[in-house]
Amino acid sequence: MKLDEFLSALWKRYVQIAPSAGKIRSLLEARGDTWVNDHIAFRTYDRSPIDLEALEPHLLAFGYKRYAPYAFEDKKIRAYGYLHPEAGRPRIFLSELETQKLSVGAQARIAELTAQIDAKVVGDPLVLNAGLLWQPPSRAVYQELLQESEYAGWVAANGLCANHFTVSVNELASFESLEGLLEFLQTEGFAMNTAGGLIKGTPEVLLEQGSTLADRRILELEGEATEITTCYVEFARRYQGFEGFVPASADKIFESTDSKGP
């Protein structure tokens, strides 16, 4: 599989479960702007066969290289950023939940999900776009996981897919600032993640970011229609060729899928 096909498949699923992303893209393109991806982010559990170590070889096979590790102690998440040597390729941010740091009960719930994974599907890069690799959990299990770790609940209900695509604000011709872009989108009716402020980061840390609040959809959880959060859109403006991520900002961006709101 070629990288372009992989990225197209990710985008297709993403706009299906997060229609706001398609609407934002249309709004930008109507202004003559081009949607260029700064990065694409994934979430997973640190459990075989879908831990970071198992998924990373797919990124490396597409030509990506590890750039830098990141740790989010409070959220019990670790991650790597990946860069591609070809110009114009999106960065990738792959994170995993450190499930051993959760309660024994939550670990058991997650183990019940990952035990259902067909190991064969993990050998294909499209496992990163497969959605649920297990039967949807019951609503009680979903809520139990959410309570303990919003990230744990999100993966339980969404499985593997692009958690967000990120628009490169540097590449937008019609906006001079991230603030201007976010204000425009708010005027257009999109709800923004305000955890840690509307804009995370500063020119001094070489990266400014903002994001929408995730879209929601109804999922049947053992016959109970339940509203879950899906994906969101992030916006990033980089300074001086900075290639990495800023943990304090990314920590707040994770909260874009928190159904309780920031």
The Cα–Cα gap between 169 and 166 comes to: 9
Q: Provide the 8-state DSSP code for 223.
A: T
User: Per CB under 5 A, which region of 6-14, 18-26, 44-52, 228-236 contacts Ni ion?
Assistant: 228-236
Q: Please report where in the chains the tokens 């019940």 appear, as a residue.
A: 112
Smallest distance, Ni ion to C-beta of residue 165, A: 9
255 binds Ni ion (CB under 5 A): no
Strand 162-168 relative to strand 37-45, pairing = antiparallel
234 binds Ni ion (CB under 5 A): yes
38 binds Ni ion (CB under 5 A): no
Nearer to Ni ion, 110 or 253 (CB): 253
What is the phi/psi pair of residue 101, to 5°? -85, -5
User: Per CB under 5 A, which region of 37-45, 106-114, 138-146, 217-225 contacts Ni ion?
Assistant: 37-45
Nearer to Ni ion, 41 or 160 (CB): 41
The Cα–Cα gap between 235 and 35 comes to: 10
Nearer to Ni ion, 114 or 163 (CB): 163
The Cα–Cα gap between 172 and 60 comes to: 29
Q: Provide the 8-state DSSP code for 50.
A: S
Asked if the bond preceding 203 is cis, omega within 30° of 0, the reply is no
User: Per CB under 5 A, which region of 13-21, 81-89, 175-183, 231-239 contacts Ni ion?
Assistant: 231-239
Radius of gyration of the chain (CA): 18
Nearer to Ni ion, 17 or 41 (CB): 41
The Cα–Cα gap between 208 and 69 comes to: 19
Q: Is 204 exposed, middle or buried (0-12, 13-18, 19+ CB in 10 A)?
A: exposed
Q: Are 9 and 125 in contact (CB under 8 A)?
A: no
Nearer to Ni ion, 149 or 168 (CB): 168
Smallest distance, Ni ion to C-beta of residue 255, A: 12
Count of residues of this chain found to bind Ni ion when the rule CB under 5 A is applied: 2
Smallest distance, Ni ion to C-beta of residue 96, A: 15
The Cα–Cα gap between 142 and 123 comes to: 27
- Using CB under 5 A, which residues numbered 53 to 82 contact Ni ion? none
Smallest distance, Ni ion to C-beta of residue 136, A: 26
Smallest distance, Ni ion to C-beta of residue 189, A: 22
Number of H helices, E strands in the chain: 8, 9
Rounded (10°) CA dihedral 118, 123, 124, 128: 70
Please pick, from the candidates 7, 10, 28, 41, the single residue that binds Ni ion as defined by CB under 5 A: 41
Nearer to Ni ion, 47 or 200 (CB): 200
User: Per CB under 5 A, which region of 34-42, 104-112, 134-142, 153-161 contacts Ni ion?
Assistant: 34-42
Nearer to Ni ion, 165 or 175 (CB): 165
Smallest distance, Ni ion to C-beta of residue 93, A: 5
Binding site for Ni ion (CB under 5 A): 41, 234
